[in-house]
């Protein structure tokens, strides 16, 4: 006797899910019926629920049997097609029927079923007493019947596959992460868009919600308000005057020409052209860098989304631009978006509760809006900035520990009239907590700016710049060596460069001697040379 295995949905069904035309028709009709835009994740749940219902119906039909499902009790004819549940639902065609010879089963017939040109298998038929004649039980406890379980286990794969399929469908449009049929959109005229521009201009560029704009431009809302709002969003998105700046789940509009220039385009001090080098070779050594070093140009070793607080030490480019690096470790602290390249949010000074506007510039991985705050707080390159999640989405706390003004001996960069630079230990008045390795005082910022503008003769290669910095910094250390973190801070006063590339340059150079850990010095035979 063959053991009866309860019917269920095999795990590979969800692992190898393919979005069919029937799936798209189902989702399209659901959107038409509900007249409500839905996100890919919401559509994925609908699809999984629909697929589970369909599979349940199919398995019930399979369990109950029928002329098209193989059961030994049936009498089959040549040419008839049969499905075999215990052969992964393979379908075959009866090629031949003959009488069987078994005294225990009078009337036995043997059918020869053709599965392919080379595969034919014989099965018994016309047997009334056989386990396979009984309805096959369904394993209702199978977790693959649960949409919640399926989405938890396979949701990422399903959403990705569905997203790619929906993007290729010209009949659907997506705004702020939600999909809707193009055919149902409300017409938005150029006049309505001109009015929206005027409303945003009066409100200092924004941000305003779509609903707030609709209330002021008097767009007819006879149809479903959700449709009107979605249609307005599409019209605004396709007009270059407007920028969608809301975090994921919220649609906010800003007048693009009133956005800060350093939000529209990355400032000079943050620009970087990445050369090709083998990052994996330096990764193990780079992992020993202090946790205060966070660089948006560097791949991160780990990301902990449960962190509520993070500290980092500013390098010159971010101090100069009033920005923070949007490294992988920092992503969890700032709002993100489904599509918007720029996201507007609110900074809150944790010490004073002062609120001011901030921007997440996603394509270039930096956060803008801190220049005035840095100046008020006395922040310097090397100051330790604390970032904490806000109590509500769209708010981020920032803090810098203040201390009574004191004079400390700190590295100071002095630039000559010829563009040459030296480092010296000078007493400087400091009012914030700082990282000793990364703090460098700049008495003349205008001179540094000329390095970046290219107006000096000192636009050397990265290898030459690293060598000059190591030589100058080593003079301040009795051991004559320089830590990578110190060099990283110094190099970034002259050129934007991540620590990984600096480390690669040192290890590849002919002049640097690796002293162990992250310490380097000029090779002895090069000491004293220029």
Q: How many CB atoms lie within 10 A of CB 146?
A: 14
Between CA 110 and CA 124 the distance in angstroms is 5
Residue 7, domain member (yes or no): no
pLDDT digits (tens, 9 = 90+) for 276-298: 888 888 888 888 887 888 899 98
Instruction: Note whether 465 and 490 are same-domain residues.
Output: yes
Show the tokens assigned to 530: 């220029």
CA angle, residues 281, 286, 292, in degrees to nearest 5 = 160
How many domains is the chain built from?
3
- pLDDT given at position 277: 82
H helical segments located in 65-146? none
How much of the chain, in percent, has pLDDT values that exceed 70?
Answer: 88
Per the domain annotation, does 166 fall within a domain? no
Does 145 map to a domain? yes
Q: Are residues 148 and 286 in the same domain?
A: no
If asked whether residues 253 and 277 sit together in one domain, one would say no
Q: What is the CATH number of the domain that holds 462?
A: 2.40.330.10
- 308 and 253, same domain (yes or no): no
Contact 100, 110 (CB under 8 A): yes
How far is Cα 44 from Cα 179, in angstroms, rounded to an integer?
A: 12
Residue in this structure with the two tokens 């607080």, named with its chain if needed: 309
Pairwise CA distance, residues 234 & 182, whole Å: 10
Boundaries of domain holding 101? 12-159
pLDDT of residue 62: 59
Residue 1 resides in a domain: no
Residue of higher predicted confidence among 352 and 18:
352
- Judge if 370 and 484 occupy the same domain: yes
Candidates 479, 474, 471, 499; CA nearest to 285 is 499
Interatomic CA distance for residues 208 and 254, integer angstroms: 7
- Do 289 and 388 reside in the same domain of the chain? yes
Residues contacting residue 49 through CB under 8 Å, at least 6 positions apart: 147
Poorest-pLDDT segment among 6-10, 173-177, 276-280: 6-10
Q: How confident is the model at residue 67 (pLDDT cuts 50, 70, 90)?
A: very low
Average pLDDT of 212-223? 78
Q: What is the pLDDT of residue 457?
A: 47
Residues 237 and 175 sit within 8 Å (Cβ to Cβ): yes
Report strand pairing: 342-349 vs 252-255.
Answer: unpaired
Give start and end residues of each alpha helix (H) in 93-218. 147-167, 190-202, 210-217
Tokens 């640097």 belong to 512
Phi and psi based region of residue 5 (left: phi greater than 0; alpha: psi -120 to 50; beta: remaining): beta
pTM of the entire structure? 0.72
pLDDT at 36: 83
Distance of CA 43 to CAs 151, 182, 185, 289, 365, Å?
A: 12, 16, 19, 44, 30
Does 252 lie in the same domain as 109?
no
Question: Are residues 407 and 503 located together in one domain of the fold?
Answer: yes
Instruction: Please check whether residues 252 and 313 belong to one and the same domain.
Output: no
- Mean pLDDT across 178-183: 85
The span from the first CA to the last CA of the chain, in angstroms, equals: 91
- Say how far apart CA 466 and CA 450 lie, in whole Å: 19
Omega cis (within 30) before 207: yes
If residue 63 lies in a helix (H) or strand (E), which one and from where to where?
helix 40-64
Backbone angles phi, psi at 284, to 5 degrees: -60, -40
**63 and 199, same domain (yes or no):** no
CA–CA separation, 322 vs 320, rounded Å?
Answer: 6
Instruction: Report the C-alpha gap between 369 and 372 in whole angstroms.
Output: 8
Please check the confidence at residue 155 and state whether its pLDDT lies above 50.
Answer: yes
Residue 422 lies in a domain: yes
Q: What are the two backbone dihedrals, phi and then psi, of residue 235, each rounded to the nearest 5 degrees? A: -65, -40
Q: Could you read off the pLDDT of 13-62 as tens digits, one per residue?
A: 777 778 888 889 999 898 888 888 888 899 999 988 888 887 777 666 65
How far CA 456 is from CA of 78, 96, 404, in Å, comes to 92, 92, 38
- Span 362-398, pLDDT tens digits: 999 999 999 999 999 999 999 999 999 888 888 999 9
Of 44-48, 87-91, 326-330, 337-341, where does mean pLDDT reach its minimum?
87-91
For residue 242, being part of any structural domain is answered with yes
For residue 40, is it within any domain? yes
Lowest pLDDT segment from 97-101, 149-153, 352-356, 513-517:
149-153
Answer for the pair 251, 176: CB distance below 8 angstroms, yes or no. Answer: yes
DSSP state at residue 261: H
* CB of 8 closer than 8 Å to CB of 138: yes
Q: Which of 259, 293, 315 is the last residue of a domain?
A: 259
Residue 419 has pLDDT above 90, yes or no: no
Q: Assess whether pLDDT exceeds 80 at residue 460.
A: no
pLDDT tens digits, 465-520: 999 999 999 999 888 899 999 999 999 999 999 999 999 999 999 998 999 889 99
For residue 249, give the nearest of 163, 348, 339 by alpha carbon.
339
Overall average pLDDT of the 77-92 stretch: 78
Beta carbons of 343 and 246 less than 8 angstroms apart: yes
How far apart CA 307 and CA 314 sit, in angstroms, is 20
* pLDDT at site 204: 92
Q: Which of 159, 194, 211 is the last residue of a domain?
A: 159
Looking at the structure, tell me whether residues 192 and 98 fall in a common domain: no
Query: Would you say residue 167 lies in a domain?
Result: no
How many beta carbons lie within 10 A of that of residue 196, not counting itself?
Answer: 26
Give me the sign of the Cα torsion angle 447, 453, 459, 463.
positive
In terms of DSSP bridges, do strands 512-516 and 421-432 run parallel, antiparallel, or are they unpaired? unpaired
Mean pLDDT along residues 515-527: 81
Q: Report whether 34 contacts 46 (CB < 8 A).
A: no
Contact at 8 Å (CB) between 335 and 394? yes
Asked which of 206, 230, 259 is the last residue of a domain, the reply is 259
The pLDDT-based confidence of 3 (bands split at 50, 70, 90) is very low
Per-residue pLDDT tens over the stretch 230-279: 888 889 988 999 999 988 778 899 999 999 999 999 999 999 888 888 88
150-154, 313-317, 372-376, 442-446: range with lowest mean pLDDT: 150-154
Residues 282 and 140 in one domain: no
Instruction: Tell me the backbone φ, ψ of residue 122, rounded to 5 degrees.
Output: -95, 140
């Amino acid at each position: 006797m063959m053991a009866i295995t309860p019917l269920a949905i095999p795990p590979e069904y969800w692992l190898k899910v393919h979005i069919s035309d029937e799936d798209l028709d189902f989702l399209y009709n659901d959107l038409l019926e509900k007249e409500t835009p839905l996100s890919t994740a919401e559509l994925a749940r609908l699809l999984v629920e629909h697929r589970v219902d369909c599979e349940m119906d199919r398995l019930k039909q399979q369990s109950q049997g029928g002329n098209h499902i193989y059961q030994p009790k049936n009498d089959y004819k040549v040419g008839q097609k049969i499905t075999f549940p215990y052969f992964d639902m393979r379908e075959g065609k009866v090629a031949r029927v003959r009488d069987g010879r078994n005294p225990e089963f009078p009337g036995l017939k043997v059918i020869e079923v053709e599965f392919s040109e080379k595969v034919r298998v014989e099965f018994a038929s016309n047997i009334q007493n056989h386990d396979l004649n009984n309805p096959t039980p369904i394993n209702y406890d199978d977790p693959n019947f649960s949409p919640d379980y399926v989405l938890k286990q396979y949701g990422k794969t399903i959403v990705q596959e569905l997203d790619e399929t929906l993007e290729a469908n010209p009949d659907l449009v997506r705004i702020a992460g939600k999909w809707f049929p193009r055919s149902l959109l409300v017409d938005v005229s150029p006049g309505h868009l001109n009015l929206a521009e005027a409303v945003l201009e009066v409100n200092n560029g924004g941000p305003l919600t779509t609903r707030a704009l609709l209330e002021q431009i008097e767009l007819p809302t006879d149809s479903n308000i959700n449709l009107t709002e979605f249609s307005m969003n599409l019209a605004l998105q396709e007009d270059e005057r407007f920028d969608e700046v809301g975090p994921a789940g919220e649609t906010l509009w800003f007048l693009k020409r009133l956005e800060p220039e350093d939000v529209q385009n990355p400032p000079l001090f943050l620009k970087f052209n990445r050369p090709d080098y083998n990052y994996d070779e330096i990764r193990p050594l780079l992992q020993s860098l202090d946790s205060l070093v966070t660089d948006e140009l560097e791949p991160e070793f780990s990301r902990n989304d449960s962190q509520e607080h993070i500290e980092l030490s500013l390098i010159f480019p971010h101090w100069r631009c009033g920005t923070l690096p949007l490294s992988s470790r920092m992503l969890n602290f700032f709002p993100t978006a489904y599509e918007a390249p720029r996201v507007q949010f609110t900074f809150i000074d944790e010490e004073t509760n002062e609120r001011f506007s901030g921007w997440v510039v996603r394509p270039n991985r930096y956060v803008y809006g801190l220049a005035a705050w840095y100046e008020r707080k006395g922040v310097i390159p090397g100051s330790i900035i604390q970032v904490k999640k806000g109590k509500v989405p769209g708010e981020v706390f920032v803090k810098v520990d203040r201390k009574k003004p004191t004079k400390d001996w700190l590295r100071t960069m002095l630039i000559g009239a010829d563009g040459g630079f030296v480092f010296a230990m000078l007493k400087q008045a400091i009012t914030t907590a700082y990282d000793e390795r990364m703090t460098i005082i700049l008495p003349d910022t205008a001179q540094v700016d000329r390095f970046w503008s290219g107006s000096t003769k000192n636009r050397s290669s990265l290898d030459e710049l690293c060598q000059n910095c190591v030589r100058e910094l080593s003079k301040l250390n009795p051991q004559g060596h320089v830590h990578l973190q110190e060099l990283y801070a110094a190099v970034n006063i002259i050129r934007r460069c991540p620590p990984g590339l600096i480390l690669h340059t040192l290890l590849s150079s002919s002049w640097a001697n690796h002293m162990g850990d992250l310490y380097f010095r000029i090779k002895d035979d090069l000491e004293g040379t220029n």
